[in-house]
Amino acid sequence: MTSPRVNLLDFDADQMAAYVAGLNEKPFRAKQLMQWIHQRGVADINDMSDLAKSFRATLLDKAEVLSLPVMKDEHATDGTRKWLLDVGAGNAVESVFIPEDDRGTLCISSQAGCAVNCRFCSTGRQGFSRNLTSGEIIGQLWFAEHLLRSDPEAIRRIEKYPTPGWEHTGRVISNVVMMGMGEPLLNYDNVVSALRLMLDDRAYGLSRRRVTVSTSGVVPMIDRLAQDCPVALAVSLHAPNDALRDQLVPLNQKYPLHELLAACERYLPFAPRDFLTFEYCMLDGVNDSDIQAKELVRLLRNIKCKINLIPFNPFPESGLKRSSDQRIHAFFGILLDAGMVATVRKTRGDDIAAACGQLAGDVVDRTKVRERALHKAEIELTELESDEDTDEELNARSNEQPIEWLKKLN
Ligand code: SAH
Ligand code: SF4
Protein backbone atom coordinates (compact mmCIF):
# COMPACT_ATOMS: atom_id res chain seq x y z
CA MET A 1 0.00 0.00 0.00
CA THR A 2 1.35 3.46 -0.84
CA SER A 3 1.48 5.91 2.07
CA PRO A 4 -0.47 9.17 1.67
CA ARG A 5 1.48 12.07 0.18
CA VAL A 6 2.60 14.90 2.46
CA ASN A 7 1.19 18.33 1.70
CA LEU A 8 4.16 20.67 1.17
CA LEU A 9 1.96 23.61 2.22
CA ASP A 10 2.09 22.20 5.76
CA PHE A 11 5.81 22.97 6.14
CA ASP A 12 7.36 26.22 7.34
CA ALA A 13 11.00 26.87 6.33
CA ASP A 14 12.53 24.73 9.09
CA GLN A 15 10.13 21.90 8.50
CA MET A 16 10.81 22.02 4.75
CA ALA A 17 14.56 21.89 5.44
CA ALA A 18 14.08 18.85 7.67
CA TYR A 19 11.88 17.15 5.09
CA VAL A 20 14.38 17.73 2.29
CA ALA A 21 17.26 16.53 4.50
CA GLY A 22 15.23 13.40 5.20
CA LEU A 23 15.17 12.74 1.45
CA ASN A 24 18.99 13.07 1.38
CA GLU A 25 18.85 16.24 -0.70
CA LYS A 26 21.02 19.36 -0.28
CA PRO A 27 19.60 22.21 1.88
CA PHE A 28 19.28 24.62 -1.07
CA ARG A 29 16.61 22.33 -2.53
CA ALA A 30 14.36 23.32 0.38
CA LYS A 31 14.81 26.96 -0.53
CA GLN A 32 14.00 26.24 -4.16
CA LEU A 33 10.87 24.39 -3.18
CA MET A 34 9.72 27.27 -0.96
CA GLN A 35 10.22 29.71 -3.80
CA TRP A 36 8.37 27.59 -6.34
CA ILE A 37 5.45 27.05 -4.05
CA HIS A 38 5.03 30.29 -2.15
CA GLN A 39 6.62 32.94 -4.34
CA ARG A 40 5.62 31.63 -7.74
CA GLY A 41 2.45 29.79 -6.75
CA VAL A 42 3.37 26.60 -8.61
CA ALA A 43 1.49 23.50 -7.46
CA ASP A 44 2.58 20.99 -10.10
CA ILE A 45 5.92 19.42 -9.16
CA ASN A 46 6.55 18.66 -12.87
CA ASP A 47 6.70 22.44 -13.49
CA MET A 48 9.51 23.04 -10.96
CA SER A 49 12.01 23.05 -13.76
CA ASP A 50 15.26 23.69 -11.89
CA LEU A 51 14.83 20.70 -9.57
CA ALA A 52 16.78 17.61 -10.63
CA LYS A 53 14.61 15.08 -12.46
CA SER A 54 15.31 12.40 -9.88
CA PHE A 55 14.28 14.73 -7.03
CA ARG A 56 11.09 15.63 -8.89
CA ALA A 57 10.32 11.94 -9.33
CA THR A 58 10.80 11.34 -5.59
CA LEU A 59 8.56 14.28 -4.76
CA LEU A 60 5.87 13.19 -7.20
CA ASP A 61 5.76 9.91 -5.37
CA LYS A 62 5.74 11.28 -1.83
CA ALA A 63 4.47 14.87 -1.84
CA GLU A 64 1.94 17.30 -3.28
CA VAL A 65 0.86 20.93 -3.03
CA LEU A 66 -2.77 20.78 -2.06
CA SER A 67 -4.88 23.86 -1.37
CA LEU A 68 -8.52 23.92 -0.36
CA PRO A 69 -11.15 23.39 -3.08
CA VAL A 70 -13.16 26.55 -3.78
CA MET A 71 -16.91 26.07 -3.38
CA LYS A 72 -17.96 29.67 -3.99
CA ASP A 73 -16.29 32.87 -5.20
CA GLU A 74 -18.26 36.06 -4.55
CA HIS A 75 -17.55 39.67 -5.57
CA ALA A 76 -19.01 42.59 -3.60
CA THR A 77 -19.75 45.93 -5.23
CA ASP A 78 -16.92 47.60 -3.27
CA GLY A 79 -14.30 45.19 -4.68
CA THR A 80 -14.29 42.87 -1.66
CA ARG A 81 -14.06 39.23 -2.63
CA LYS A 82 -15.05 36.23 -0.53
CA TRP A 83 -14.22 32.56 -1.06
CA LEU A 84 -15.93 29.60 0.54
CA LEU A 85 -13.38 26.81 0.87
CA ASP A 86 -14.10 23.14 1.42
CA VAL A 87 -12.26 21.64 4.39
CA GLY A 88 -13.99 18.27 4.13
CA ALA A 89 -16.55 16.29 6.12
CA GLY A 90 -19.24 18.88 5.49
CA ASN A 91 -17.17 21.81 6.79
CA ALA A 92 -16.26 24.95 4.89
CA VAL A 93 -14.40 28.10 5.89
CA GLU A 94 -14.24 31.56 4.40
CA SER A 95 -11.46 33.96 3.38
CA VAL A 96 -12.03 37.56 2.38
CA PHE A 97 -9.89 39.92 0.27
CA ILE A 98 -10.42 43.61 0.99
CA PRO A 99 -8.80 45.97 -1.52
CA GLU A 100 -8.05 49.53 -0.40
CA ASP A 101 -6.10 52.32 -2.05
CA ASP A 102 -2.89 51.70 -0.19
CA ARG A 103 -3.16 48.02 0.70
CA GLY A 104 -4.68 44.66 -0.14
CA THR A 105 -5.78 42.81 2.98
CA LEU A 106 -6.61 39.13 3.24
CA CYS A 107 -8.74 38.00 6.17
CA ILE A 108 -7.96 34.37 7.00
CA SER A 109 -9.77 31.67 9.01
CA SER A 110 -7.99 29.53 11.60
CA GLN A 111 -10.69 27.04 12.62
CA ALA A 112 -13.83 25.47 11.16
CA GLY A 113 -16.24 27.21 13.52
CA CYS A 114 -15.29 28.53 16.94
CA ALA A 115 -15.88 27.22 20.46
CA VAL A 116 -15.68 30.59 22.22
CA ASN A 117 -19.28 31.34 21.29
CA CYS A 118 -19.36 35.13 21.50
CA ARG A 119 -22.96 36.33 21.57
CA PHE A 120 -22.63 38.66 18.59
CA CYS A 121 -20.61 36.45 16.24
CA SER A 122 -22.13 34.29 13.56
CA THR A 123 -19.10 31.97 13.50
CA GLY A 124 -19.46 31.44 17.25
CA ARG A 125 -23.15 30.69 16.93
CA GLN A 126 -22.31 27.94 14.45
CA GLY A 127 -20.29 25.96 16.98
CA PHE A 128 -16.93 24.29 16.49
CA SER A 129 -15.79 21.47 14.30
CA ARG A 130 -12.00 21.39 14.13
CA ASN A 131 -8.71 23.26 13.95
CA LEU A 132 -7.35 23.97 10.49
CA THR A 133 -3.93 22.51 9.70
CA SER A 134 -1.08 24.94 9.01
CA GLY A 135 -1.35 24.01 5.31
CA GLU A 136 -5.04 24.90 5.33
CA ILE A 137 -4.26 28.24 6.96
CA ILE A 138 -1.35 29.28 4.72
CA GLY A 139 -3.17 27.67 1.78
CA GLN A 140 -5.73 30.49 1.99
CA LEU A 141 -2.97 33.06 1.38
CA TRP A 142 -1.27 30.88 -1.24
CA PHE A 143 -4.50 30.51 -3.17
CA ALA A 144 -5.70 34.13 -2.93
CA GLU A 145 -2.31 35.71 -3.68
CA HIS A 146 -1.70 33.67 -6.81
CA LEU A 147 -5.27 33.90 -8.06
CA LEU A 148 -5.32 37.68 -7.63
CA ARG A 149 -2.05 38.10 -9.51
CA SER A 150 -4.02 37.29 -12.66
CA ASP A 151 -7.07 39.37 -11.70
CA PRO A 152 -7.08 42.55 -13.85
CA GLU A 153 -8.91 44.55 -11.16
CA ALA A 154 -6.33 43.69 -8.49
CA ILE A 155 -3.47 44.47 -10.89
CA ARG A 156 -4.99 47.84 -11.83
CA ARG A 157 -5.20 48.73 -8.15
CA ILE A 158 -1.61 47.90 -7.29
CA GLU A 159 -0.35 49.68 -10.39
CA LYS A 160 -2.25 52.77 -9.32
CA TYR A 161 -1.32 52.57 -5.66
CA PRO A 162 1.79 50.39 -5.40
CA THR A 163 2.49 49.14 -1.88
CA PRO A 164 6.11 49.44 -0.79
CA GLY A 165 8.26 46.76 -2.40
CA TRP A 166 5.47 45.67 -4.70
CA GLU A 167 7.49 46.19 -7.88
CA HIS A 168 10.10 43.90 -6.40
CA THR A 169 7.85 41.11 -5.16
CA GLY A 170 4.81 41.39 -7.43
CA ARG A 171 2.64 40.80 -4.35
CA VAL A 172 -1.04 41.70 -4.44
CA ILE A 173 -1.71 40.97 -0.77
CA SER A 174 0.20 43.34 1.50
CA ASN A 175 -1.60 42.66 4.80
CA VAL A 176 -3.00 39.58 6.50
CA VAL A 177 -5.44 39.64 9.40
CA MET A 178 -6.37 36.50 11.34
CA MET A 179 -9.92 37.76 11.72
CA GLY A 180 -11.85 35.16 9.78
CA MET A 181 -13.51 32.16 11.34
CA GLY A 182 -12.10 30.79 14.57
CA GLU A 183 -9.96 31.81 17.52
CA PRO A 184 -6.36 31.73 16.25
CA LEU A 185 -4.78 31.37 19.68
CA LEU A 186 -6.78 28.20 20.32
CA ASN A 187 -5.06 26.63 17.31
CA TYR A 188 -1.70 27.93 18.38
CA ASP A 189 0.92 25.66 16.79
CA ASN A 190 -0.67 25.59 13.36
CA VAL A 191 -1.27 29.33 13.37
CA VAL A 192 2.33 30.09 14.38
CA SER A 193 3.67 27.81 11.65
CA ALA A 194 1.52 29.66 9.09
CA LEU A 195 2.53 33.08 10.51
CA ARG A 196 6.20 32.16 10.12
CA LEU A 197 5.63 31.47 6.44
CA MET A 198 3.83 34.79 6.00
CA LEU A 199 6.89 36.58 7.40
CA ASP A 200 9.55 34.45 5.70
CA ASP A 201 11.40 36.15 2.84
CA ARG A 202 11.56 32.83 1.02
CA ALA A 203 7.76 32.70 1.12
CA TYR A 204 5.58 35.85 1.40
CA GLY A 205 8.00 38.24 3.13
CA LEU A 206 5.30 40.30 4.84
CA SER A 207 6.31 42.77 7.51
CA ARG A 208 5.36 41.89 11.11
CA ARG A 209 3.42 45.15 11.23
CA ARG A 210 1.23 43.99 8.39
CA VAL A 211 0.27 40.65 9.89
CA THR A 212 -2.33 40.82 12.68
CA VAL A 213 -3.58 38.15 15.05
CA SER A 214 -6.97 38.97 16.54
CA THR A 215 -7.89 37.20 19.77
CA SER A 216 -10.78 37.08 22.17
CA GLY A 217 -8.17 36.89 24.95
CA VAL A 218 -6.44 33.53 25.44
CA VAL A 219 -4.01 34.90 28.03
CA PRO A 220 -1.30 32.17 28.16
CA MET A 221 -1.10 32.09 24.38
CA ILE A 222 -0.66 35.87 24.16
CA ASP A 223 2.48 35.39 26.25
CA ARG A 224 3.68 32.57 24.03
CA LEU A 225 3.06 34.57 20.87
CA ALA A 226 5.24 37.36 22.24
CA GLN A 227 8.12 34.87 22.39
CA ASP A 228 7.45 32.77 19.30
CA CYS A 229 6.20 35.17 16.64
CA PRO A 230 5.31 38.67 17.81
CA VAL A 231 3.12 40.06 15.05
CA ALA A 232 0.58 42.88 15.50
CA LEU A 233 -2.03 42.01 18.12
CA ALA A 234 -5.71 42.97 18.15
CA VAL A 235 -7.74 42.10 21.23
CA SER A 236 -11.50 41.75 20.97
CA LEU A 237 -12.71 43.60 24.04
CA HIS A 238 -16.35 44.59 23.42
CA ALA A 239 -17.12 45.51 27.04
CA PRO A 240 -15.61 47.85 29.63
CA ASN A 241 -16.25 45.58 32.64
CA ASP A 242 -16.21 41.89 33.56
CA ALA A 243 -19.95 41.61 34.22
CA LEU A 244 -20.82 42.50 30.63
CA ARG A 245 -17.79 40.86 29.01
CA ASP A 246 -18.57 37.57 30.79
CA GLN A 247 -21.82 37.57 28.86
CA LEU A 248 -20.60 38.76 25.48
CA VAL A 249 -17.29 36.84 25.33
CA PRO A 250 -17.67 33.76 27.57
CA LEU A 251 -13.88 33.24 27.60
CA ASN A 252 -13.76 36.25 29.95
CA GLN A 253 -14.93 33.97 32.76
CA LYS A 254 -11.66 32.10 32.40
CA TYR A 255 -9.45 35.13 31.73
CA PRO A 256 -11.02 38.24 33.26
CA LEU A 257 -10.11 41.75 32.23
CA HIS A 258 -7.32 42.38 34.74
CA GLU A 259 -5.51 39.23 33.55
CA LEU A 260 -6.13 40.06 29.90
CA LEU A 261 -4.89 43.63 30.21
CA ALA A 262 -1.81 42.48 32.13
CA ALA A 263 -1.01 40.10 29.27
CA CYS A 264 -1.46 42.99 26.83
CA GLU A 265 1.03 45.09 28.79
CA ARG A 266 3.52 42.20 28.71
CA TYR A 267 3.04 41.87 24.95
CA LEU A 268 3.68 45.53 24.18
CA PRO A 269 7.50 45.44 24.34
CA PHE A 270 7.45 42.68 21.70
CA ALA A 271 4.78 44.19 19.45
CA PRO A 272 5.93 45.46 16.04
CA ARG A 273 4.40 48.88 16.77
CA ASP A 274 4.33 50.59 20.13
CA PHE A 275 0.59 50.07 20.60
CA LEU A 276 -2.05 47.34 20.53
CA THR A 277 -5.50 47.46 19.02
CA PHE A 278 -8.68 46.83 21.00
CA GLU A 279 -11.75 45.94 19.01
CA TYR A 280 -15.14 46.99 20.31
CA CYS A 281 -18.25 45.83 18.49
CA MET A 282 -21.00 48.45 18.85
CA LEU A 283 -24.22 46.79 20.03
CA ASP A 284 -27.34 48.89 20.39
CA GLY A 285 -28.33 49.35 24.04
CA VAL A 286 -25.79 46.78 25.21
CA ASN A 287 -22.31 48.32 25.34
CA ASP A 288 -22.71 51.72 23.67
CA SER A 289 -23.76 54.21 26.38
CA ASP A 290 -21.85 57.34 27.42
CA ILE A 291 -21.23 55.76 30.82
CA GLN A 292 -19.71 52.68 29.18
CA ALA A 293 -17.51 54.90 26.97
CA LYS A 294 -16.17 56.61 30.09
CA GLU A 295 -15.64 53.25 31.77
CA LEU A 296 -13.70 52.12 28.72
CA VAL A 297 -11.50 55.20 28.95
CA ARG A 298 -10.74 54.44 32.61
CA LEU A 299 -9.96 50.81 31.76
CA LEU A 300 -7.55 51.54 28.90
CA ARG A 301 -6.15 54.93 29.90
CA ASN A 302 -2.75 53.52 30.87
CA ILE A 303 -2.20 51.16 27.94
CA LYS A 304 -0.75 52.36 24.65
CA CYS A 305 -3.54 51.38 22.33
CA LYS A 306 -5.90 52.20 19.53
CA ILE A 307 -9.59 51.44 19.98
CA ASN A 308 -11.31 50.23 16.85
CA LEU A 309 -15.09 50.61 17.05
CA ILE A 310 -16.78 48.05 14.80
CA PRO A 311 -20.41 48.67 13.91
CA PHE A 312 -22.14 45.34 14.65
CA ASN A 313 -22.85 43.34 11.51
CA PRO A 314 -26.18 41.69 12.04
CA PHE A 315 -26.95 38.11 11.09
CA PRO A 316 -30.14 36.09 11.47
CA GLU A 317 -30.86 34.79 14.99
CA SER A 318 -28.46 37.12 16.80
CA GLY A 319 -31.29 39.06 18.43
CA LEU A 320 -28.93 42.05 18.55
CA LYS A 321 -28.91 45.38 16.74
CA ARG A 322 -26.20 47.68 15.42
CA SER A 323 -25.78 50.95 17.37
CA SER A 324 -27.04 53.95 15.45
CA ASP A 325 -24.48 56.12 13.64
CA GLN A 326 -25.29 58.92 16.08
CA ARG A 327 -24.59 56.68 19.09
CA ILE A 328 -21.33 55.41 17.57
CA HIS A 329 -20.22 58.99 16.99
CA ALA A 330 -21.14 60.07 20.51
CA PHE A 331 -19.21 57.10 21.95
CA PHE A 332 -16.28 57.81 19.63
CA GLY A 333 -16.34 61.49 20.68
CA ILE A 334 -16.02 60.59 24.36
CA LEU A 335 -12.97 58.44 23.61
CA LEU A 336 -11.34 61.21 21.56
CA ASP A 337 -12.14 63.91 24.14
CA ALA A 338 -10.42 61.77 26.76
CA GLY A 339 -7.29 61.69 24.59
CA MET A 340 -7.66 58.09 23.40
CA VAL A 341 -6.74 57.03 19.86
CA ALA A 342 -9.83 55.59 18.22
CA THR A 343 -11.22 54.74 14.79
CA VAL A 344 -14.56 53.57 13.49
CA ARG A 345 -14.18 50.62 11.16
CA LYS A 346 -15.67 50.95 7.71
CA THR A 347 -17.88 48.00 6.97
CA ARG A 348 -16.76 46.24 3.81
CA GLY A 349 -18.36 43.60 1.65
CA ASP A 350 -21.63 43.50 3.55
CA ASP A 351 -23.63 42.81 0.37
CA ILE A 352 -21.95 39.38 0.29
CA ALA A 353 -21.93 38.87 4.10
CA ALA A 354 -18.14 39.26 4.13
CA ALA A 355 -17.99 41.80 6.95
CA CYS A 356 -16.53 41.07 10.40
CA GLY A 357 -18.44 38.41 12.26
CA GLN A 358 -20.62 37.49 9.30
CA LEU A 359 -18.35 34.68 8.19
CA ALA A 360 -20.19 31.48 8.80
CA GLY A 361 -18.98 28.97 6.21
CA ASP A 362 -20.47 25.57 6.88
CA VAL A 363 -19.69 23.97 10.19
CA VAL A 364 -20.60 20.52 11.38
CA ASP A 365 -21.00 21.59 14.97
CA ARG A 366 -19.34 19.04 17.24
CA THR A 367 -19.98 21.18 20.32
CA LYS A 368 -23.75 21.49 19.86
CA VAL A 369 -23.49 25.22 20.55
CA ARG A 370 -25.82 26.10 17.72
CA GLU A 371 -28.42 23.56 18.72
CA ARG A 372 -28.50 24.87 22.24
CA ALA A 373 -28.66 28.46 21.04
CA LEU A 374 -31.62 27.67 18.84
CA HIS A 375 -33.43 26.08 21.74
CA LYS A 376 -33.09 29.20 23.79
CA ALA A 377 -35.65 31.92 23.37
CA GLU A 378 -34.60 35.03 21.41
CA ILE A 379 -31.32 36.20 22.83
CA GLU A 380 -32.23 39.08 25.04
CA LEU A 381 -29.23 40.41 26.84
CA THR A 382 -31.20 41.02 29.99
CA GLU A 383 -32.02 37.35 29.98
CA LEU A 384 -28.59 35.98 29.26
CA GLU A 385 -27.50 33.18 31.53
CA SER A 386 -26.10 33.90 34.95
CA ASP A 387 -22.39 33.31 35.44
CA GLU A 388 -23.24 29.98 36.99
CA ASP A 389 -25.18 28.86 33.93
CA THR A 390 -22.44 29.91 31.59
CA ASP A 391 -19.85 28.06 33.60
CA GLU A 392 -22.06 25.04 33.36
CA GLU A 393 -22.26 25.52 29.64
CA LEU A 394 -18.49 25.68 29.37
CA ASN A 395 -18.15 22.53 31.43
CA ALA A 396 -20.81 20.77 29.40
CA ARG A 397 -18.89 21.61 26.28
CA SER A 398 -15.67 20.31 27.71
CA ASN A 399 -17.37 17.01 28.57
CA GLU A 400 -18.78 16.65 25.10
CA GLN A 401 -15.64 17.43 23.20
CA PRO A 402 -12.12 17.19 24.57
CA ILE A 403 -11.11 19.77 21.98
CA GLU A 404 -7.80 21.54 22.08
CA TRP A 405 -8.92 24.82 23.54
CA LEU A 406 -10.69 23.31 26.48
CA LYS A 407 -7.75 21.05 27.20
CA LYS A 408 -5.49 24.07 27.18
CA LEU A 409 -7.81 26.11 29.35
CA ASN A 410 -8.44 23.50 32.01
N1 SAH B 1 -11.66 34.95 17.17
C2 SAH B 1 -10.91 36.13 16.96
C3 SAH B 1 -10.77 36.50 15.51
C4 SAH B 1 -11.98 36.34 14.64
S5 SAH B 1 -13.31 37.46 14.92
C6 SAH B 1 -11.47 37.28 17.77
O7 SAH B 1 -12.56 37.14 18.31
O8 SAH B 1 -10.80 38.28 17.87
C9 SAH B 1 -12.69 38.98 14.22
C10 SAH B 1 -13.32 40.23 14.78
O11 SAH B 1 -14.69 40.37 14.35
C12 SAH B 1 -13.35 40.25 16.29
O13 SAH B 1 -12.98 41.49 16.81
C14 SAH B 1 -14.78 39.98 16.57
O15 SAH B 1 -15.15 40.38 17.84
C16 SAH B 1 -15.47 40.74 15.47
N17 SAH B 1 -16.85 40.34 15.26
C18 SAH B 1 -17.39 39.12 15.48
N19 SAH B 1 -18.70 39.15 15.17
C20 SAH B 1 -18.99 40.38 14.75
C21 SAH B 1 -20.18 41.00 14.25
N22 SAH B 1 -21.31 40.33 14.11
N23 SAH B 1 -20.11 42.30 13.88
C24 SAH B 1 -18.95 42.99 13.98
N25 SAH B 1 -17.79 42.44 14.42
C26 SAH B 1 -17.82 41.16 14.81
FE1 SF4 C 1 -14.85 32.98 18.04
FE2 SF4 C 1 -13.86 35.42 17.56
FE3 SF4 C 1 -16.38 34.79 16.87
FE4 SF4 C 1 -15.74 35.07 19.44
S5 SF4 C 1 -15.68 36.67 17.87
S6 SF4 C 1 -16.96 33.40 18.56
S7 SF4 C 1 -13.66 34.24 19.48
S8 SF4 C 1 -14.53 33.91 16.04
pLDDT at 7: 97
d(CA 200, CA 296): 37
Which protein residue's CA is at the shortest distance from atom 1 of ligand 1?
183
pLDDT at 390: 33
Q: Which of 25, 94, 145, 404 is flagged as catalytic?
A: 94
33 CA to centre of ligand 1 in angstroms: 35
Lowest mean pLDDT among 24-38, 69-83, 360-374: 360-374
Q: Over 80: is that where the pLDDT of 375 sits? A: no
Q: Over 60: is that where the pLDDT of 398 sits? A: no
pLDDT at 229: 98
Q: Confirm or reject: Cβ of 114 under 6 Å from ligand 2.
A: yes
d(CA 229, CA 190): 12
248 CA to centre of ligand 1 in angstroms: 11
| Average model confidence (pLDDT) across the chain | 86
Lowest mean pLDDT among 158-162, 180-184, 340-344, 359-363: 359-363
Confidence bin at 78 (pLDDT 50/70/90): confident
**How big is the CA angle at 112 (ends 385 and 92), to the nearest 5 degrees?**
125
pLDDT at 2: 56
Q: Over 80: is that where the pLDDT of 67 sits? A: yes
In three state form, how does the secondary structure of the chain look? Answer: CCCCCEEHHHCCHHHHHHHHHHCCCCHHHHHHHHHHHHHCCCCCHHHCCCCCHHHHHHHHHHEECCCCCEEEEEECCCCCEEEEEEEECCEEEEEEEEEECCEEEEECCCEEECCCCCCCCHHHHCCEEEECCHHHHHHHHHHHHHHHCCCHHHHHHHHHCCCCCHHHHCCCCCEEEECCCCCHHHCHHHHHHHHHHHHCCCCCCCCHHHEEEEECCCHHHHHHHHHHCCCEEEEECCCCCHHHHHHHCHHHHCCCHHHHHHHHHHHHHHCCCCCEEEEEEEECCCCCCHHHHHHHHHHHCCCCEEEEEEECCCCCCCCCCECCHHHHHHHHHHHHHCCCEEEECCCCCHHHCCCCCCCCCECCCCCCHHHHHHHCCCCCHHHCCCHHHHHHHHHHHHHHCCCHHHHHHC
Confidence bin at 361 (pLDDT 50/70/90): low
Confidence bin at 155 (pLDDT 50/70/90): confident
Q: Which atom of ligand 1 is nearest to the CA of 235?
A: 8
Q: Over 50: is that where the pLDDT of 394 sits? A: no
305 catalytic residue (yes or no) = no
Best of 94, 121, 264 for a ligand 1 pocket test (most atoms within 8 Å of beta carbon): 121
Sorted by sequence, the CB contacts under 8 Å of residue 208 that are 6+ apart come out as 199, 230, 231, 232, 272
pLDDT at 169: 65
d(CA 292, CA 8): 49
Lowest mean pLDDT among 75-84, 182-191, 323-332, 385-394: 385-394
Q: Over 80: is that where the pLDDT of 364 sits? A: no
pLDDT at 360: 60
pLDDT at 152: 79
Lowest mean pLDDT among 53-62, 160-169, 344-353: 160-169
Q: Over 90: is that where the pLDDT of 218 sits? A: yes
Q: Over 60: is that where the pLDDT of 304 sits? A: yes
More confident residue, 56 or 124: 56
d(CA 191, CA 201): 18
More confident residue, 209 or 318: 209
pLDDT at 359: 58
For the entire predicted model, the pTM comes to 0.87
Q: Confirm or reject: Cβ of 237 under 6 Å from ligand 2.
A: no
Lowest mean pLDDT among 229-233, 294-298, 348-352, 370-374: 370-374
pLDDT at 355: 61
pLDDT at 378: 28
Q: Which of 107, 121, 281, 356 is flagged as catalytic?
A: 356
94 catalytic residue (yes or no) = yes
pLDDT in tens, 196-205: 999 999 999 9
d(CA 60, CA 63): 6
pLDDT at 389: 30
More confident residue, 127 or 350: 127
Sorted by sequence, the CB contacts under 8 Å of residue 67 that are 6+ apart come out as 9, 43, 139, 140, 142, 143
Q: Over 90: is that where the pLDDT of 4 sits? A: no
Q: Over 80: is that where the pLDDT of 149 sits? A: yes
Q: Over 90: is that where the pLDDT of 262 sits? A: yes
Q: Confirm or reject: Cβ of 123 under 6 Å from ligand 2.
A: yes
Mean pLDDT, residues 78-94: 92
Cα end-to-end span (Å), the chain: 41
